[in-house]
A and B are shown apart, each in its own frame.
Chain A
Amino acid sequence: MNALTFNGESLVLRPSGALWWPTERLLCVSDLHLGKAERMARRGGALVPPYECDETLERLDAEISAMAPRRVICLGDSFDDGPAEHGLSEAHRMWIARMMAGRDWVWIAGNHDPGPVRLGGEHLAEVRLGGLVFRHIAEADAAPGEVSGHYHPKARLAGSRRPCFLTDGCRLILPAFGSYTGGMDADAPEILALLRPPMKAVLTGPTPVVFPIGP
């Protein structure tokens, strides 16, 4: 487990790629991209193994069971596009409804899923809570305390490349939680333009490792 004090708030960066805020009992996951396999097929692309929703929901369910959050924030790009949400199977809808029951659930709008979500919960552009603001894409002049996703950062260490959290103390960028998601290298120009040194990466996976990144 990785504790991080971020803009005055104590947070935990989970090995799964989820963010846990103990005082608020808040769980935040980004970029689930549910329905990605279906979207690829719909557009005449490859028919990849259709198990990505099961895989992603299974991991989200495990986090929810482990932490019992009062509130869940899905930080945008929860669905690979509008039709992908509508294309969810009945079983997957029920599964999501079961997880939503008894807690606050916020769908943040992402660039893939800007429209309203029909699965219930709140649908918002951003959420402000304590010293933090949650939105999908980092904003150029954001005040300190911004939590965002979108970039799917990954970092390479000792030959293996894994999704990671990135922070420079002012911003925190979450890895993609969805199964079928690629990633962008943590030192890509788009990411470096957002962060100011010194910045660090926290790898997901069995052993959370913190290490500095930068040009």
Chain B
Amino acid sequence: MSRPLPPAFTDWFAARGWEVHPHQQLMLDRADAPALLLIAPTGGGKTLAGFLPTLAELSDGDHGGLHTLYVSPLKALAADIRRNLTMPVTEMGLPIRIEDRTGDTSATRKKRQRADPPHILLTTPESLALLTSYEDAPRMFAGLSRVIVDEIHALAESKRGDQLMLSLARLSTLAPGLRRVGLSATVDDPKAIGQLMARHPDPVEIVQADPGPAPDISMLETETPPPWSGGGGRYAIPAVLDQVRQHRTTLIFHNTRAQAEIFFHHLWLANDEGLPIGIHHGSLAREQREKVEAAMVAGKLRAIVCTGSLDLGIDWGDVDLVIQVGAPKNVKRLVQRIGRANHRYNAPSKALLVPANRFEIVECQAALEAVQDGDLDGAPRGPGPRDVLCQHILIAACAGPFSADDLYAELTSAGAYADLSRAAFDACLDFVATGGYALRAYDKWQRLQQRPDGTWHLRDPRAAARIRMNIGTIQDSDLLKVRMKGRMGGKPLGEVEEAFAASLTPGDTFLIGGQIVRYEGLREMTVEVTRHAARKPKVAVFSGTKFASSTRLQERILEMFRQPDWPALPGHTRDWLALQREVSRLPEHDRLLVESFPHDGRQHVCAYGFAGKNAQQTLGLLLTRRMEDAGLHPLGFVSTDYATLIWGLDPLREAAPLFARETLRDGLDTWLAGNAVMKRTFRACATIAGLIERNTMGARKSGRQATFSSDILYDTLLKYEPDHLLMQITREEALRGLVDFGRIEEMIDRIGDRIDHVRLDRVSPLAAPLFLEVGKVPVVGEGRERLVAEEAARLMQAAGLSA
């Protein structure tokens, strides 16, 4: 059923010599579908495809009030789309009003938008959640006809997406018949995204745009081979500069902010011609980032060193090459990054991979093959998180009295919450209303109270303002600005995490914004630094998000290991793998390889779990605990995405008992409780669930003693109510996130009792690079005490004394 465009549109397209793409026409044809998902590569005219039906429906000028709501994860994108849409609307003379609404919109404008909404409103998930919290939301959204969610693949992976889907559930109640449209980059499982975005159990129609020609992707050839270990890809700088010279604009992606900083620093040192190169990442001050973005749009930059901060969003300049430094860790993200090059439809994107070390050559090769096979990785996210649900209940209460039955029915129409039991919902409602403590201390001061008619409402209406101030799921409260000392009001250089700032002592040097600075002190929540001329920073790393290599990619590596030879790999890497096969064996998918060997006076154990960095780290903690109990005196360990290496005083005789599921589970619970990861996770969940109000910088600056640390609340709950709802949420989340126990369990399922313990008399080729890894974790235990005692005895003996 083809639906023609109004003549004004066809004329406008024709005047430009443009044609409506097939997928844009399909979106028009299926505009009546209750849920419609478009999967299109970058540069495919995705946004216009989303908006064409809206523009066509509004072109007759008959619609009053809000017609289409557009939601994007980026504020900048909302503003950019407004500009891009306004152009054709003005040129065609369409009677359509378009406005954006984000955290940056002025208060007067926001007020007016609620009283007199535009036809098309462009916003973010947080601003939308806030809009639904007002009493007048039913009036504002009554005539809403379409909602377009852009970059839905990115939202689908985070709590921001969960919150958005709950808001959509609300909107569907306020505007029955509301049609939902999702716009997504290439993903592994479009159906899964469709189920998240559709009103449960509505079907979703999926439109697949022509994916365009296969990308032109290869490994960057360098004169020097990559080092055995480490990250950052410094060895490749001459070859990278060479590529920058040969292209118009190159995006150089890194996995962490710290690595981007270090690479940028060395790139500048080697940049003798002074090519204009910029840096862009999430820790830089907004002013700095905007400067780089403007220079990019103006075509003034030849290269930009960046991180995930450039994964999403608008076309910035004429990018014709993407370089990924370090293993991509995740095939889906790699494909999306590659798409940043050549934003022209039907032109192949060009990309180069730069493995940072020898093992990453293998991983890059596996990723290359996965991209060629279109084999994308995806991890199911599991049920909708309950902390977001608690916030949603608070938001509902702000809008007015609600019935628990209605709210439950409404929110289980959101895909991620479709399986939420009534009991689980009631527990969340009880938490929001009373705190949910065994000690019913707040009966007089409940946050929500039930009226005789059964509806719930805010006991103190003034609470609504405070709840609204805390809407959102993004955690950014613990960042501190970095400024040059003595320049009050000067431009900040960027931001660092509070924990990183706390680890510095005056005199330490670190990299930020591409320059080395010296830490001077902390002053009113600002890190003060001075310029420093050193070539090498003393503290190189500030923590960014460390993401683990995906399960699918690890599986592909293990598949590769089964080949008799590896003609696709460089010679040195082939030899390395062949030698490993000869002296020990290569890890296999359904077995666990454990090597033990002496080295440098210590006993070593290496377990190749291929479970990703976070899980291998947790495995290290659990195994060393077990080894301590078994009297093996472990001293420390180090983890990568594929293995954990442990060293200690006594050799491991029997590997199998260490890996029994029950044993590992046992250790986990005790170890978790006191862990810093738990406290950090608790803070995030408690803030989202409304137990902690975000610290406003103003209050902290004035030195108020009123705010106390979330750690106190965690410790109190752990002592008095370890099974409180928030503790359950925290545990659930830590297991999925930083602790990643899920992947350890996955590994145990995979290997069963097939554990190959290989005893060697020296280090194996595959284990060797682990010795050079940074991030070693010391084990505090008897082993260390014994070392001290032995050293003391040695000194006594050397002095001719006896104990």
Nearest-neighbour CB distance to chain A for B438, whole angstroms, equals: 10
**Interface check B692, CB cutoff 8 A:** yes
A55 at the interface (CB under 8 A from B): yes
Contact B439 A44 (CB under 8 A): no
In the assembled complex, the Cα of A185 lies from the Cα of B501 at a distance in Å of 15
Residue B535 interfacial (CB < 8 Å):
no
Shortest distance in angstroms between A187's beta carbon and chain B's nearest beta carbon? 9
Cβ–Cβ contact B502 & A48, under 8 A: no
Interface of chain B residues 422 through 450 with chain A (CB within 8 A): 434-435, 437, 439, 441-442, 444-447
A45 close to B441 (CB less than 8 A): no
Q: Is the interface of B mostly helix, strand, loop or mixed?
A: loop
Q: Are A188 and B703 in contact (CB under 8 A)?
A: yes
- The interface residues of chain A lying within 8 Å CB-to-CB of B444 are 42
Q: Is the CB of A182 within 8 A of B706?
A: yes
Q: Answer whether residue B108 sits at the interface, using C-beta atoms and an 8 A cutoff.
A: no
Given A45-B466, A180-B712, decide whether A38 and B441 contact each other with a Cβ distance below 8 A.
yes
Given A50-B437, A184-B703; A41-B724 close (CB under 8 Å): no
With both beta carbons as reference points, the residue of chain B lying nearest to A54 in the complex is identified as: B720
> Contact string, A42-62, partner B, CB cutoff 8 A, digits 1/0?
111111111110110000000
Which of B170-178, B456-464, B652-660, B778-786 contacts its partner?
B456-464
Chain B residue nearest to A188 (CB atoms) is B703
Q: Is the CB of A50 within 8 A of B705?
A: no
Q: Contact flags (1/0) for A129-168 with B, using CB distance below 8 Å?
A: 0000000000000000000000110001001010000000
List, in ascending order, chain A residues with CB within 8 A of B703's CB: 184-185, 188-190
Nearest CB to that of B710 among chain A residues? Answer: A48
For residue A148, give the distance in angstroms from its CB to the closest CB of chain B.
14
Give the chain B neighbours of A188 by CB distance below 8 A.
703
Cβ contacts B625-640/A at 8 Å (1 or 0 each):
0000000000000000
8 A Cβ contacts from A117-132 to B: none
B693 interfacial contact with A, CB 8 Å: yes
Residues of B within 8 A of A37 (CB): 441
Which chain A residue shows the least CB distance to B705? A152
Can you name the residue of chain B whose Cβ is closest to the Cβ of A183? B705
Interface status of A7 (Cβ within 8 A of chain B): no
Q: How far is the CA of A151 from the CA of B704 in the complex (A)?
A: 9
CB within 8 Å of B: which A36-86 residues:
37-38, 41-52, 54-55
Q: How many A residues, CB 8 Å from partner?
A: 32
- Output the least CB separation between A64 and chain B (Å): 21
Do A49 and B704 have beta carbons less than 8 Å apart?
no
Chain A residues near B2 (CB-CB < 8 A): none
* Count class of interface residues, chain B: 35 or more
Nearest residue (CB) in B for A39 is: B445
Known A-B contacts A182-B706, A184-B703; A41 and B716 likewise in contact (beta carbons under 8 Å): no
Contact of A159 among B459, B460, B502, B705 (CB under 8 A): B502
**Of all chain B residues, which has the CB nearest A181?**
B708
Instruction: Tell me how far the C-beta of A30 lies from the nearest C-beta in chain B, rounded to whole angstroms.
Output: 12
A38-B445, A156-B502 given as contacts; is B716 within 8 A of A55 (CB)? Answer: yes
Main DSSP-derived SS at the A contact region: loop
Instruction: Kindly state the separation between the CA atoms of A176 and B709 in the bound complex, as whole angstroms.
Output: 14
B690 sits at the interface (CB 8 A): yes
B224 at the interface (CB under 8 A from A): no
A182 & B709 in contact (Cβ 8 Å cutoff): yes
Q: B346 in the interface, Cβ–Cβ < 8 Å?
A: no
Question: CA of A163 to CA of B232 in the docked complex: distance in angstroms?
Answer: 40
A47 cross-chain contacts in B, Cβ below 8 A: 434-435, 437, 442, 445-447, 691
Q: Is the CB of B716 within 8 A of A179?
A: yes
Residues of B within 8 A of A42 (CB): 444-445
Determine if B707 is an interface residue (Cβ-Cβ < 8 Å).
yes
Contact with A along B685-714 (1 / 0, CB 8 A): 000001111000000000111111100110
Quick one: which of A46, A51, A181, A189 contacts B690, CB cutoff 8 A? A46
Asked if A41 contacts B445 (CB within 8 A), the reply is yes
Question: For B720, what are the chain A residues with a Cβ–Cβ distance below 8 Å?
Answer: 49, 51, 54
| B421 part of interface (Cβ distance < 8 Å) | no
B29: Cβ under 8 A from any A Cβ: no
**A38: which B residues are within 8 A, CB to CB?**
441-442, 445
- When C-beta atoms are compared, the residue in chain A nearest to B499 turns out to be A159
CB contact between A180 and one of B503, B690, B708, B719 (< 8 Å): that residue: B708
Q: A181: which B residues are within 8 A, CB to CB?
A: 705, 708
**B706 contact set on A, CB distance < 8 A:** 182
Q: A159-B502, A179-B712 are in contact. Are A46 and B705 (CB under 8 A)?
A: no
B733 interfacial by beta-carbon distance below 8 Å: no
Which residues in B have some Cβ–Cβ distance to A below 8 Å?
Answer: 434-435, 437, 439, 441-442, 444-447, 458-460, 462-463, 466, 502-503, 690-693, 703-709, 712-713, 716-717, 719-721, 724
| A–B Cβ pairs within 8 angstroms, 13 of them | A38-B442, A42-B444, A46-B447, A47-B434, A51-B439, A152-B705, A156-B502, A179-B716, A180-B708, A180-B712, A182-B709, A183-B705, A185-B703
On A, residues with C-beta under 8 Å from B are 37-38, 41-52, 54-55, 151-152, 156, 159, 161, 176, 179-185, 188-190
Q: 8 additional contacts, CB 8 Å, given A152-B705, A159-B503? A: A42-B445, A44-B459, A45-B463, A47-B435, A49-B713, A51-B439, A159-B502, A182-B705
**What 6 pairs across the A-B complex have the smallest Cβ distances?**
A47-B435, A44-B460, A50-B441, A44-B463, A41-B445, A182-B708
